[in-house]
């Protein structure tokens, strides 16, 4: 059997400028057809509301809907229908996600910038948020948990979930079960760009929300960008990404397993292994070749590694960390003997996994950290989903009479310098009389 191909092999320092550009250019840019289709769907949903969504479900999901909303008894029925092992796993994930996000809730703070001048900031939960749960080729109940539970922990008033219907007219049973366990308020059997439009603008049945979160395909991602001037969204999302930094202490088998786990998501997934030491790189490369025949999603894995995979050798751990900060991956696995020491040096990353026992798969499902993370290099400026995404901040300030008198002259001078005499007068009104 012929060996499969990894796109980039060799020394990190020998990468050509063109290869480096290809490696870094990994965002999912929607083509004209995707954008045009999404614009048309958004327009028809804004115009026709529920009727458009019912028509879209018939066209794209092959589902004939009698109602867009899934009644609560159907959630409970779905929860009872899933196997006990899956339910136990989901309940454990719910517990850990809730613990992590409740512990990391944003806190109010205030300070006196000078005597008598108080400035404070208070997190106020959003009134209503929408969580998109992907469907179609596969259902992702974990994404329901990752969206709904942080919103609940932040104190959001109402959490609605949209997920594509199966031909039965309801979303997948595991998706409904996750909504029940996570504590969602309403679920709608609506998918794709239509669901994003419905949550952004509202229909006769689906309420308008204050923020839309959750992953999805290229159409969902494009639709979220198109409505982002109307409603807040989480970070624009693309295919899954993994960067592994490994040294000679890393198990080649464990590194290979992590590579396959992320590459199986999508043919466009980007998986890079950066090894300090050529011997270790050879071992990992040989293990990838040995294990690939046994992968159930081999075709997807091979496509991802052929187009966007890399197995590179770094001259030093310093070079590897520098590359990581430039690459800004969604997931970074530090499979080194000094992972904890490297953590402080890592800046641009969605989430860091410390040591090879910290499998990315654990973070995807069970540790309690959120798996909705920035991709395509956006970790340079975006963070992973958290309770921070479900609040807005109210700033307040109080100036007592003595402080007002002290501020008056300087504020008046500042305002006049900007050509705003009414501002100057408002400030100087608080000067003390001689």
How many whole angstroms separate alpha carbon 298 and alpha carbon 295? 5
Residue 330 falls in the annotated catalytic set: yes
How many whole angstroms separate alpha carbon 141 and alpha carbon 30? 26
- If we measure between CA atoms, which residue out of 49, 48, 148, 54 comes closest to residue 98? 148
Which strands form 109-114's sheet, in the order they lie side by side? 109-114, 117-125, 391-399
How many whole angstroms separate alpha carbon 418 and alpha carbon 424? 10
Instruction: Give the Cβ contact number of residue 413 at 10 Å.
Output: 12
Q: For strands 158-162 and 117-125, give the pairing.
A: unpaired
Residue 356 falls in the annotated catalytic set: no
User: Are the C-beta atoms of residues 159 and 146 closer than 8 Å to each other?
Assistant: no
Active-site annotation holder among 258, 330, 356, 371: 330
User: Are the C-beta atoms of residues 166 and 190 closer than 8 Å to each other?
Assistant: no
- State how far Cα 151 lies from the chain centre: 14
Active-site annotation holder among 101, 331, 356, 371: 331
Q: Roughly what angle, to the nearest 10 degrees, separates helices 192-201 and 32-48?
A: 50
Q: For strands 109-114 and 117-125, give the pairing.
A: antiparallel
> How many helices (H) and strands (E) in the chain?
17, 14
Range list of β-strands (E), 277-404: 309-314, 331-335, 351-354, 391-399
Sign of the Cα torsion 415, 419, 423, 429 reads positive
* Bridge partners, 110 (sequence order): 120
What is each CA distance from 17 to 9, 24, 85, 379, in whole angstroms? Answer: 14, 11, 49, 22
- If we measure between CA atoms, which residue out of 161, 170, 163, 162 comes closest to residue 66? 170
What is each CA distance from 209 to 28, 152, 232, in whole angstroms? Answer: 26, 15, 9
What is each CA distance from 122 to 32, 119, 127, 152, in whole angstroms? Answer: 42, 10, 15, 18
Catalytically active residues, by annotation: 330-331
């Amino acid at each position: 059997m012929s060996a499969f191909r990894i796109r980039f092999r060799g020394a990190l320092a020998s990468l050509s400028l063109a290869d480096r550009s290809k490696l870094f250019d990994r965002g999912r840019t929607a083509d004209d057809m995707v954008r045009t289709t999404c614009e048309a769907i958004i327009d028809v949903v804004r115009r026709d509301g529920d009727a458009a969504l019912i028509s879209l479900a018939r066209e794209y999901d092959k589902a004939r809907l009698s109602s867009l909303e899934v009644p609560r008894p159907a959630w409970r029925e779905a929860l009872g229908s899933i196997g006990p092992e899956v339910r136990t796993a989901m309940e454990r994930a719910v517990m850990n996600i809730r613990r992590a996000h409740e512990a990391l809730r944003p806190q109010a703070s205030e300070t006196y910038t000078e005597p008598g001048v108080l400035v404070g900031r208070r997190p106020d939960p959003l009134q209503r948020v929408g969580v998109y749960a992907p469907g179609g080729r596969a259902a992702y109940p974990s994404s329901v948990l990752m969206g709904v539970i942080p919103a609940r922990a932040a104190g959001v008033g109402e959490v609605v979930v949209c997920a594509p219907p199966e031909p039965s007219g309801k979303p997948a049973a595991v998706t409904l079960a996750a909504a029940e366990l996570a504590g969602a308020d309403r679920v709608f059997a609506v998918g794709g760009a239509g669901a994003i439009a419905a949550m952004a603008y509202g229909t006769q049945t689906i309420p308008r929300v204050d923020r839309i979160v959750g992953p999805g395909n290229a159409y969902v991602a494009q639709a979220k960008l198109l409505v982002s001037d109307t409603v807040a969204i989480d970070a624009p999302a693309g295919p899954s990404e993994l960067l592994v930094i490994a040294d000679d202490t890393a198990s080649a088998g464990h590194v290979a397993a992590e590579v396959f786990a992320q590459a199986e998501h999508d043919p466009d997934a980007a998986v890079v292994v950066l090894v300090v030491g050529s011997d270790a790189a050879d071992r990992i490369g040989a293990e990838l070749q040995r294990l690939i025949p046994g992968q159930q999603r081999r075709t997807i894995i091979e496509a991802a590694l052929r187009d966007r995979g890399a197995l590179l050798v770094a001259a030093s751990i310093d070079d590897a960390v520098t590359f990581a900060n430039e690459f800004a991956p969604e997931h970074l696995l530090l499979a080194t003997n000094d992972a904890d020491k490297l953590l402080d040096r890592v800046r641009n990353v969605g989430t860091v996994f410390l040591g090879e026992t910290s499998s990315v798969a654990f973070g995807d499902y069970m540790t309690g950290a959120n798996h909705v993370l920035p991709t395509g290099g956006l970790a340079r400026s975006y963070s992973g989903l958290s309770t921070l995404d479900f609040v807005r901040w109210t700033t307040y300030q109080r100036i007592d009479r003595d402080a007002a008198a002290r501020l008056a002259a300087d504020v008046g001078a500042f305002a006049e310098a900007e050509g705003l005499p009414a501002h100057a007068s408002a400030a100087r009104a608080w000067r003390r009389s001689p």
